[in-house]
Chains A and B, each alone.
Chain A
């Protein structure tokens, strides 16, 4: 795949907890960036799903967070750090269907316990680090074919 990229491209977004009206802006901009440099449609699909889910988690659970992305000729790396409640049991949180989201968030159709599994499913490498009471960092890498 010949990508139209010289050097690395990176970007950063600030995410504000509870701000549902801007949800998806980071993923949308990332989608356009990847399309601009000619990344394969399937890779774009995976990257935007993973990024959108990560954005939503910050908006639903945390006070604030930052989303960074780094695009190189080989891969895209997305790192999301938040100042949130942290995840008590990561293994449990990774189980599809497990969620700690409040009722009103579920009524919006979020909080179905699919966020973290969706992120993992769409990444080539996926790591979560979390400290209860401090926050969570998720790192995802998607390799270009």
Chain B
């Protein structure tokens, strides 16, 4: 499963680094606590969160996550998008709230 497959199936908006759509997805991790994601997400996971500030890019980059999905119709801040382009991190957005987004992604990935 590639990031692009998830984007197509859930009609996610791609906000940064289009090249990352070819990344392989190893699973997903849902959390809004950055230390939790640092400690417990796995390489290649998509990260489902409602955080939008620029530190999410550093976390995703450091953990080699396949993409960040920002939920609840929230938009990444401009500086976050800029940083994500620099660090080659793909940011996706959806209007779905965390629970619905996670449920649908679980169904697709399981």
Contacts and interface: CB of A to CB of B under 8 A. Distances in A.
15 contacts: A20-B53, A20-B54, A20-B55, A24-B59, A45-B63, A52-B59, A52-B62, A53-B38, A108-B53, A108-B55, A110-B34, A110-B35, A114-B36, A115-B35, A118-B35
A53 B62 contact: no
**Max chain A Cβ within 10 angstroms of own Cβ: one of B35, B38, B53, B58:** B35
B32 interface: yes
B32 A27 contact: no
A28 B55 contact: no
B39 A23 contact: no
B33 A109 contact: yes
A112 B51 CA distance: 14
B98 interface: no
B62 A108 contact: no
Given A28-B61, A52-B62, A108-B53, A21 B36 contact: no
A31 interface: yes
**Max chain A Cβ within 10 angstroms of own Cβ: one of B54, B62, B63:** B62
Chain B interface helix/strand/loop/mixed: helix
Nearest to A122: B39
Interface in B40-80: 49, 51, 53-55, 58-59, 61-63, 79
A20 B59 CA distance: 13
Contacts of A21: 54, 79, 83
Nearest to A50: B38
A52 B39 contact: no
A134 B39 CA distance: 29
A31 B33 contact: no
A61 to B, nearest CB: 14
Given A27-B62, A28-B62, A31-B62, A53 B35 contact: yes
A110 B53 CA distance: 11
Contacts of B61: 24, 28
A66 to B, nearest CB: 19
Interface string A99-119: 000000000111010110010
Contacts of B32: 109
